[in-house]
Amino acid sequence: GGGIPVDYTRTLIEEDRELPTYYRTNFDVCEIAKTISDNLRNLKYDVKLYIEPGRSLVADACVLLTRIVNFKERSSGERWLIIDAGFNVLPSARILRWYYPIVNASRISEKHNVRFRIGGPLCDAEDVYHDVEGEEYNREKLPRYRCLPEKTSVGDILAFLHVGAYGPEVLMNFNGMLKPPYIMILRSGDIKIIRRSDELNDLLLYEEF
């Protein structure tokens, strides 16, 4: 730990107002560097400094695109969206309760002001993008709802922002789910696949029969 944090609220998503205060970072990298260097100069011996930039360096280098595969409105009026990306793709959202802003890439110009619950495709009660345990004990670390356009529907593409840190390193095949591909957009605008998607045979790759 100790890396420079990410300001997840800079996207100005509606539910940011519900976020715990520790998501609202307020720091100046230059001020941090000055504080460290000033103190090092006061030492009487040489020090080799190792710096961990943390998620701030790469968080916004990657976006997770996921498709809405189902919609359900409960008797309470609560709207649910089921997407094809669960915690097998983004385990930090479930295990660490990290917040990632979500926008509807298919309706990006529409106002994001209607509240939805979002869940993944896995057969696990906690494959959701809110804090189940936290809500039970009134200390949730994630927004209860995500604000998206009113006409958000099956087939729309949602974009999870700032997922560049701890992405491909923590992908897993939970529930026999195939890992998604990673695509890089080059400066020229060309698209390059830098990690192919899994195939069914990949699930048996390390098995011995």
Q: Domain limits of the chain?
A: 8-57, 60-199
Closest by CA to 23, choosing from 40, 11, 36, 35, is: 11
What's the CA gap between 198 and 209, in Å, rounded? 21
17-31, 108-122, 123-137: segment of lowest average pLDDT:
17-31
Which of residues 169 and 205 earns the better pLDDT score? Answer: 205
- Find the mean pLDDT for residues 114-132: 94
What tokens does 17 get? 């107002």
- Residue 55 phi/psi, 5° resolution? -65, -20
Q: Is the model's pLDDT at 180 over the cut of 90?
A: yes
- Residue 24 phi/psi, 5° resolution? -95, 80
pLDDT for the residue 29: 81
CB within 8 Å of 175: residues ≥ 6 apart: 86, 88, 122, 123, 124
CB within 8 Å of 160: residues ≥ 6 apart: 63, 64, 65, 66, 85, 90, 100, 101, 102
Which of residues 18 and 186 earns the better pLDDT score? Answer: 186
* Homologous superfamily (CATH) for 60-199: Lyase, Ornithine Decarboxylase; Chain A, domain 1 (2.40.37.10)
Q: Is the model's pLDDT at 22 over the cut of 70?
A: no
pLDDT single digits (tens) 145-179? 999 999 999 999 999 999 998 887 889 999 999 99
pLDDT for the residue 17: 62
Question: What does pLDDT average to over the chain?
Answer: 88
Closest by CA to 70, choosing from 166, 14, 154, 165, is: 154
Calculated CA dihedral for residues 72, 134, 57, 60, nearest 10 degrees = 10
Q: Are 3 and 25 in contact (CB under 8 A)?
A: no
8-22, 113-127, 179-193: segment of lowest average pLDDT:
8-22
Which range is most confident: 45-49, 198-202, 205-209? 198-202
- Find the mean pLDDT for residues 19-46: 81
The amino acid at residue 118 is I
